[in-house]
Chain A
Amino acid sequence: MMAMERRIQQLIDKHLDGCASQAELAELDRLLVDRPAVADALWKAAQVDAILAIYWQGKSVAADWRVRPWPADLPTRRTMRRLLFAGCAAALLVAAVVGLLHWRHQDAHRVTAGIVEVAGVPVSFVADNRPLRVVGDQAAVIRLAGGSRAELGPSTLAVVRGRNEAGAQVIELLEGSGRFFVPRMARPLCVHTAAGSVTAATTDFQVNLWPTEGKGDEEMQFRSILVLAVAVFAGMVEVSSPDEHCVLMAGAQAVFGAETPTGGKSRDLATWLPPGDVLGFMQKGAPYALERVFPGLNAAIALSDEQKQKLAAAIDETIDRREVRAAMAFGKLNPKATEEEKQKARRLVEQARAELQKRVAEILTPQQKALIEKINAAAGEVQSEVRKAMQDQFQALKTDPTNKDKVQQEYQQRVRAAMESRLMKLLDADAQAAVKKAAAAQAADEKAPKRKTKGDKK
């Protein structure tokens, strides 16, 4: 008998804490129907639960005012009580009106924690189709009209959209990260990103979207792509990316690239160039996409179509392998991972990079490798010379950073001009023409608003 009572209490508590399994809920349902005493017990427990929530959240001002009446002989307090009551009444009416509007239109989403700005103004409600940004160091929690909860990371940029054709609430993640909880009874949720969409019902999942190049992100410095990482904590989600369509179950995590240069078939080898860091271009001794500083530079080594094909295959089979991309994102997706797990992920990435470097070394000719070394040296010298020449300007920025953009622009212009004159000496006429052509193509590509890179993120 005691065991049965304990079991009932356990089922009730689990249900109230939201951790009962389907089987346990079915068991509780049967018990509720068959035994009125179980319904009585659940009712009492739910009352305690509700009053605890009211007590801590301060949701009810007047629910118990009758047990602590104001002394009748203090007119000022009576007045205060009237004011309090009037205030509560007014607040509730306003809430009812807001609730009614909310119920009818279902397009306002409430910010319940953190700071969210729309057009630079902090807001408590977010309307559909208004870009919002999370400001400050804390994550912001938004209760979406469809019943889901979005916990957006600091600096995240997003837009809450309306419902899609399937009736799912849509939120567009432009930059940053979010953890999304879709409870039972809530409308399905669809998180759109430039790298793919995640659709879910009754689940708990995390979505991270970030450009992979940048300081402080050593694991991802090697490549520059927009990455979508999805981790599922409960339930399951459906992910559609340009490359694939898949379902991820609880406990799974996967990484999808928006513009990963994978799949040699989709590359136009006539115009495609491997990133500079893959070819061996360096900056301060580390692999670097030097074409970002000196546009078109990686065309200088005049790769043949056969070499490009081999390089594309090498990239696909090493650092663009699914498990390697997942390992690159491991740290971001698993902040609580043990050091051993992180090291394992790092080892996998390092092995893939080493393998790629080995294959690239086999593909390039000795002349090309020598030219890359000369260009690296020239680039380093040019940067150092210009920096030295502009030393006073950089020094002045420390006390007055208002001219920072102007100074940096001048630095880049001078570096490019100096590098151009160096390349004239290093490259033959064909190679110089190839660099100019690649620079023009790169500039056109960067103008097209199809992906966000670290350089765009300001």
Chain B
Amino acid sequence: MHHQDHFLRLLLRHEAELRAFIGSIVHDPHAREDVFQETAVILWREFSRYDCSKSFGAWARGIAARKLLEQRNHQRRTPLLFSPEAIQMLAEAAERASSEHQPTLEALEHCVGRLPDRSRQLLAMRYGQSQAPETIAEQLGMTIAAVYQALWRLRAALRQCMERYLAGQSTG
């Protein structure tokens, strides 16, 4: 397999968890995207040093963590949200979870399909159109607190639903 094909396969396979790792530390969607893109560029540049016997996900998270810490040191005016120790704990949590069922788009699609229209609309506005809860509240005629509450509940419900679905898939 070509070097670049190999890289792309691995990156695509681990895209969701790499985005999740960055997203667990950086909440602003634009900053997340920047860190993801910059990490992807570094991964490509450093790919020749990647040891294939080890987890690509862990390697990518390590580089993303380094990138984030680098930003923390260089942007003192807008510091990173978490300490290096907390970022390390998150990297370890991701490593621990790598043997468990990973949420898939198929599982998500299944679970989203079971949601009422209004909940789907709320998720589409928040995640598809990156709208702020304030804007969503205005458009749906809800209070901002109610939007946050609804999003919290929806994410929890989807998490449980996906876990059930994936457990069913593996036993079935």
Contacts and interface: CB of A to CB of B under 8 A. Distances in A.
A183 B16 CA distance: 23
Contacts of A201: 77-78
Contact of A46 (B23, B81, B109, B127): B23
B86 A32 contact: yes
A184 B105 contact: no
B55 interface: no
Nearest to B42: A103
Nearest to A32: B86
A53 B41 contact: no
Contact of A48 (B71, B79, B89, B159): B159
A17 B20 contact: no
Interface residues of B, number: 67
Contacts of B29: 53
B171 interface: no
A29 B83 contact: yes
A246 interface: no
Given A33-B86, A56-B128, A99-B38, A49 B8 contact: no
A71 B93 CA distance: 36
Contacts of A336: 138
B17 A13 contact: no
A95 B33 CA distance: 13
Interface residues of A, number: 64
B112 interface: yes
Contact of A43 (B20, B41, B79, B112): B20
Contacts of A53: 19, 23, 29, 127
B124 A96 contact: no
A13 B159 CA distance: 13
Contacts of B85: 32-33
Nearest to B12: A62
Contacts of B21: 43, 46
B16 A147 contact: no
A443 interface: no
Interface string B42-77: 001000000000000000000000000001000101
Interface in B107-150: 108-109, 112, 123-124, 127-128, 133, 138, 148
Given A19-B148, A184-B81, A185-B80, A51 B26 contact: no
Contacts of A54: 15-16, 19, 105
Nearest to A233: B134
A231 to B, nearest CB: 14
A36 B31 contact: no
A63 B127 contact: no
A77 to B, nearest CB: 18
A56 B155 contact: no
Given A52-B158, A88-B8, A64 B105 contact: yes
Report, nearest first, the 4 A-B pairs whose CB atoms are least far apart. Answer: A46-B24, A56-B128, A183-B28, A50-B20
